[in-house]
Structure 1
């Protein structure tokens, strides 16, 4: 190890508390508190959920745009997205247009909600000249199978009399056929990369309605009916000759079925979000020059190893034989489990010395403090 400690910080967000960039900045303060001469490279990470578009745009210097789109209840809202105009790439978070936080507390009825705004964001990116769309599927508040998205891109949903239907589950109860004649022709020339961390199919016990519906306000007794809606929607699209992949395609159930519309209908390609973004931001090159990597997330637990940011960072660091440590909001695994996972050390904000309320009141302070302690311990071991 060189005299000057070289550290890469690449945390995920602490959901409900801190954005990934805020966590990374607090970690950097903690590093410099212990080692003022340290060189810190900040590469905050995401897995395709909320904040992915802003993070990618900020990290890679892409232009940031705001578009007026139709929210899930029909109200207008402003949604951000990023674009690399030189390489004609755009990045979109579906949550910015149809996320849970975009739905008023008294309107969480998935039967009445749609994803039209996501389709409008795609149109805005196409208008800006994008030839490759990166679409993060995390954080959606809808379960419409992507009908709203498709409608915004020119698809018409018709009843038996040929009358157009509103593109949400309740509105499509009378669906007879789907007309793709008006589908935006530019989509045939665009590459779509779908970023998520789930492999659920569209329907069935592991599908969009059963697994994700209750999180978005779907009543347990309505799950079979919503599942049947998804089946009818897919059947009508297949009858129109536009079902490119089967509904049991892994990831089709992501984001309330947006994965189905993007992957099975519009020919997008699903990728695990954290892995794709690690390559996009050049994580390996940064780690290769480092003596230590620090990552983190809201909670380290049994789910961490399943496609999450921390697991991805650990895998890259281990492959390059660079030690990796973590700072988390809380830790629900023991030292042996952390060692097996590949972490050399980990600290939790809620480590017994403070209450959850204290941690939530001053999260950046405690992230910095736990990072300072990790750096001190790492330096002591190196000496």
Structure 2
């Protein structure tokens, strides 16, 4: 019996396709990976340990919620609201695109629970509900956010909404995000445990943070992740390890793996001393005036996505199958239980209190008065003058 022909001759088309695919992957591996914004800061002295495109305008995505939270913290400190203030999910809040809390229209949670849903689940509906609760409407709250950004000196930052859903006018930079995060840490340290919480339980559902460093990278204390097509995958992370407190900002990751592994690598470089510093502080680091924000939609969600992801993986394979990873720790994470307060009526006036009784006639106070008329025009009844009711007849 003659030997079987080789597989190549039996399936020439399939073999040719495999050759083409191999050549494409080889070419992609040679393509330079995109250099996206990266920033590493020592939180104790604000020293910049590493910076790459840190002043480039970028769409913040859900990193917007860092400022949403800061303004809420500030309004609590001013006494305008409290952690017990009910936050009601309006129709506008409910209609926001995911990620969402799952709360129904009219449902309410306390402001404290809302802050956990905002920062752990990154709930877009809750961000709008917080804005409406504190400022009356989202636009007024966004004005507070922009005013705060101006006072902080965030010269590359402008907000158009409270949750970070895409708007061309919603921009920031890695430098500005680092300063905002430091303001939160310094001004409101009592709220830092929220940023380090990994899960929130609400109505029997576990809502998880996308910050996987909380469970795989020892010493992580927070803070926030974000993603829209225009920005790629963003992260601000804070780590407290071996007496060092570092803050890393990574913008424009091609995947969650890429973002998380790059963040961990950057922090390890700072902890090991490989990132020695730039001689600047984050406050003296400049933004890029006049530069336009980068639009990552073609590379993240468009036709270029597959090729872009492949080039990024070839340049930085950490965490891929069969490759080493920086995220190998097992960390005991914290959880929080939020309570759905149910529907709370809004705009319904409470009943007015019953007025106090004021007698029309003065009660008699003397025996003589009792002998006279008790009420004007109605003579006092003589004994026996008031007939008893007749008995009910039997049928």
Q: More helix per residue: 1 or 2?
A: 1
Name the TM-score class by shorter chain. under 0.3
Structure ID, larger Rg: 2
State the TM-score, normalizing by the size of structure 1.
0.23
